[in-house]
């Protein structure tokens, strides 16, 4: 019997049910089937499917269309499925990142048949793995019209805060060169691993920027993430490669980031291996400003990691991150979400889609500090 989702159930119960349908990246079919079946039963929605991505749209002729998107995949399970409740917390793989946000999406789709804006709900696959397989990227390439909108909300875990924009990410390989020789006659060579110490010194002394972009404070980072070098136990190595990850603020383009790294490591060979653009907050857009006012009590902070708001930005759609999960718990064995935080997110989003007055109560704390990084 196929997995079923009851969209009339409480959002906390629905979250647990979604968590219990395993959907590790590349294995989302059962959950995508359940989401498609549940949404197809709602007469006010038009439902589309591409692979294991499901898109549902209202067609009410409103002046504006908003996109509410969330990925349905998780990182690999480590004995944390099925879910379980302990006190005010729901534990399980994906509870925070981001099946609680997906549950809120589904509840909105069912409970608000006539929103003040037309809404496109996007449930996509393969966000937690390499960018080439990202379901939102596939939809943007193959069905861009499905994603048309004036404003977007990514239901990424933010601890109940609105997080504007996102930082870009770039990985480079910085190579130190040497001269190979026998280790018994090391003075005849030049040790590339020793030379790589200069790269580490540069990183150790590096002072990351903390620029303010459109009123939000970002915090960059430049760090070594891998080191590789060596030939054999009796050989002085002639090459050592330090892999470096740069998280850059949205006042820089990918090209700006690359130029900066080439300047920082001017004495070494630098090769870019991966890059994803940043996204500016865009909170001055009327739809974004209304969302911050209604859902976030007028408050927003910077997203200190990369999310698919960058992909929305590339499509010309201003976007924010907002979800009940705690970003610092994402991908952990003891991942959990505070149950009341899910209820609070649903309440605030329903208020926004129905045109209610701005919410003025504090967000439900999720037990962690600043925004996490993807």
Instruction: Give yes or no for residue 367 having a pLDDT over 60.
Output: no
What is the predicted pLDDT for the residue at 282? 87
What pLDDT digit, counting tens, does each position of 174-202 carry? Answer: 999 999 999 999 999 999 999 999 999 99
Confidence of residue 364 (pLDDT cuts 50, 70, 90): very low
Instruction: Please return the burial class of 8, using the count of CB atoms within 10 Å of its CB with bins 0-12, 13-18 and 19+.
Output: exposed
Model confidence over 126-153: pLDDT tens digits? 999 988 899 999 999 999 999 999 999 9
- Beta partners for 121? 56, 68
238 carries an active-site annotation: no
Query: 169 and 246 in contact (C-beta within 8 Å)?
Result: yes
- What are the backbone angles phi and psi of residue 193, rounded to the nearest 5°? -65, -40
Kindly tell me if the per-residue pLDDT of 34 is higher than 50.
yes
Mean pLDDT calculated for residue range 247-255: 96
Q: Can you give the pLDDT at residue 297?
A: 87
Clarify whether 118 is annotated catalytic.
no
Question: What is the mean predicted confidence (pLDDT) over 308-330?
Answer: 93
pLDDT of residue 130: 86
> What is the pTM assigned to this prediction?
0.86
CA distances from 40 to 34, 55, 146 (A): 10, 10, 16
The per-residue pLDDT for 3 is 84
Percent of the chain with pLDDT over 70: 95
Q: How far apart are CA 15 and CA 84, in angstroms?
A: 11
Q: pLDDT tens-digit profile of 214-223? A: 999 999 999 9
**Does residue 47 carry a pLDDT above 80?**
yes
pLDDT of residue 359: 54
* CB proximity list for 92: less than 8 A, separation 6 or greater: 16, 19, 20, 80, 81, 82, 83, 84, 335, 336
How high is the pLDDT of residue 93? 98
Q: Which listed residue (36, 73, 150, 344) is catalytic?
A: 73
pLDDT at 254 over 90: yes
* pLDDT at position 1 over 80: no
Angle between helices 339-354 and 286-295 (to 10 degrees): 130
What domains sit in the chain, N to C, each tagged with a CATH number? 11-165+279-354 (3.40.630.10), 168-276 (3.30.70.360)
Predicted confidence at residue 370, as pLDDT, reads 41
Share of the chain above pLDDT 90, in %: 88
- Which H/E stretch holds residue 248? strand 239-248
Which residues neighbour 44 within 8 Å (Cβ) at sequence distance 6 or greater? 58, 113, 114
Q: What is the DSSP string of 316-366?
A: T--EEE--SS-GGGTT-TT-EEEHHHHHHHHHHHHHHHHTPPPP-SPPPP-
Q: What was the pLDDT predicted at 360?
A: 54
3-state secondary structure of 238: coil
In whole angstroms, what is the distance from residue 233 CA to residue 176 CA? 19
pLDDT tens by residue, 201-215: 999 999 999 999 999
Nearby residues of 316 by Cβ (< 8 Å), 6 or more positions away: none
Joined tokens for residue 106: 């589904």
Q: Write down the catalytic residue from 97, 127, 220, 335.
A: 127
Q: How many Cα neighbours within 13 Å face the side chain of 316?
A: 5
Q: What is the pLDDT of residue 363?
A: 47
Q: What digits encode the pLDDT tens for the residues 320-340?
A: 999 999 999 999 999 999 999
Mean pLDDT of 14-24: 98
DSSP structure string for 320-331: EE--SS-GGGTT
> CA–CA separation, 273 vs 128, rounded Å?
18
């Amino acid at each position: 019997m196929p997995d079923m989702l009851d969209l009339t159930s409480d959002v906390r119960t629905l979250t647990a049910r979604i968590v219990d349908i395993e959907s590790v990246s590349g294995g989302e079919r059962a959950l995508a089937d359940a989401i498609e079946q549940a949404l197809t039963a709602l007469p006010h929605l038009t439902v589309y499917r591409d692979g294991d991505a499901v898109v549902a749209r209202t067609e009410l002729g409103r002046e504006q269309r908003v996109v509410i998107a969330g990925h349905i995949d998780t990182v690999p399970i480590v004995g944390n499925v099925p879910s379980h409740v302990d006190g005010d917390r729901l534990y399980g793989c994906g509870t925070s990142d981001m099946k609680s946000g997906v549950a809120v999406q589904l509840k909105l789709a069912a409970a608000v048949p006539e929103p003040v804006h037309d809404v496109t709900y996007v449930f996509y696959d393969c966000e937690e793995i390499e960018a080439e397989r990202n379901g939102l990227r596939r939809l943007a390439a193959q069905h861009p019209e499905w994603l048309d909108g004036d404003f977007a909300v990514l239901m990424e875990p933010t601890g109940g805060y609105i997080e504007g924009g996102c930082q870009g990410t770039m990985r480079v390989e910085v190579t130190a060169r040497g001269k190979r020789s026998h280790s018994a006659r090391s003075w005849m060579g030049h040790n590339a691993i020793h030379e790589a110490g200069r790269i580490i010194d540069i990183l150790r002394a590096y002072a990351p920027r903390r620029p303010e972009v459109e009123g939000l404070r970002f915090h960059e980072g430049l760090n070594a993430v891998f080191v590789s070098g060596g030939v054999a136990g009796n050989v002085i190595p002639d090459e050592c490669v330090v892999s470096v990850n740069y998280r850059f603020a949205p006042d820089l383009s990918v090209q700006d980031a690359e130029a900066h790294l080439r300047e920082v490591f001017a004495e070494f060979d630098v090769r870019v291996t991966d890059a994803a653009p940043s996204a500016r907050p865009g909170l001055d857009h009327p739809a974004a400003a209304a969302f911050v006012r209604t859902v976030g009590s007028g408050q927003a902070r910077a997203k200190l990691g990369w999310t698919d708001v960058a992909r929305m930005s590339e499509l010309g759609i201003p976007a924010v991150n907002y979800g009940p999960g705690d970003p610092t718990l994402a991908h952990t064995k003891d991942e959990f979400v505070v149950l009341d935080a899910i209820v609070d997110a649903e309440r605030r989003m329903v208020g926004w889609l129905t045109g209610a007055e701005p919410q003025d109560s504090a967000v439900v704390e999720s037990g962690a500090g600043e925004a996490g990084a993807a």
